């Protein structure tokens, strides 16, 4: 398993744990109030920490274990995997933004809108990282 693939696994784990906690713990009953919006903003701070800490720790750990691989530039296969994953993530991103526009036009509250956008980003990222891991395993 290459250095970048390991980092992708850490990123996927971090995303699922951090945003899994966010969406499970978020107080949905007050989502559409000013307090709900500020709660979302406040919760994004621990979410960022939960996501970043394993990313930094994982990167340092794997870089120490395999320093040669950590210093290698992306080769053509890795660039292809990178591009294909980003391309796949584009679709849920567009879908989520369009859904948000639709809901906003139809009078959805600001709090729900913020959470739809966060969910859109999370789903897109999970698809990006997940598909890149799939291509690392199965071939690009």
Partner 1 sequence: MAHIPFSNEIKTLRFLAGEMTQGDLGDKVGVTRQTIAAIEQGRYSPSLEVAFRIAHVFGKSLEDVFRWQDDIP
Binding site residues, partner 1, CB under 8 A: 1-2, 5, 69, 72, 75-78, 136, 138-140
Work out how close the CB of 135 gets to partner 1 at its nearest, in angstroms, rounded to a whole number: 8
Residue whose structure tokens are 């699922």: 16
Specify burial of residue 123 (Cβ count, 10 A radius: 0-12, 13-18, 19+).
Answer: middle
Cβ at position 92, least distance to partner 1 in Å: 22
Nearest to partner 1 of 123, 140 (CB atom): 140
Q: Which is nearer to partner 1, 70 or 121 (CB)?
A: 70
By beta-carbon proximity to partner 1, the closer residue of 78 and 125 is 78
- Distance of closest approach, residue 56 Cβ to partner 1, in angstroms: 23
140 near 84, Cβ under 8 Å? Answer: yes
Long-range contacts of 105-109 (CB under 8 A, 24+ apart): 109/31, 109/32
């Amino acid at each position: 398993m290459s250095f970048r693939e390991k980092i992708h696994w850490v990123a996927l784990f971090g995303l699922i744990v951090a945003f899994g906690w966010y969406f499970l713990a978020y107080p949905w009953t007050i989502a559409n109030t000013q307090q709900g919006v500020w709660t979302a903003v406040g919760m994004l701070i621990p979410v960022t920490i939960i996501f970043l800490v394993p990313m930094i720790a994982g990167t340092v750990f794997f870089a120490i274990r395999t320093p040669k691989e950590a210093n290698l530039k992306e080769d053509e296969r890795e660039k292809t995997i990178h591009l294909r994953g980003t391309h796949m993530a584009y679709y849920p991103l567009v879908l989520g933004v369009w859904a948000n526009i639709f809901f906003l036009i139809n009078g959805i509250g600001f709090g729900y809108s913020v959470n739809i956008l966060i969910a859109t980003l999370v789903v897109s990222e999970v698809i990006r990282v997940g598909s890149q891991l799939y291509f690392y395993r199965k071939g690009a």
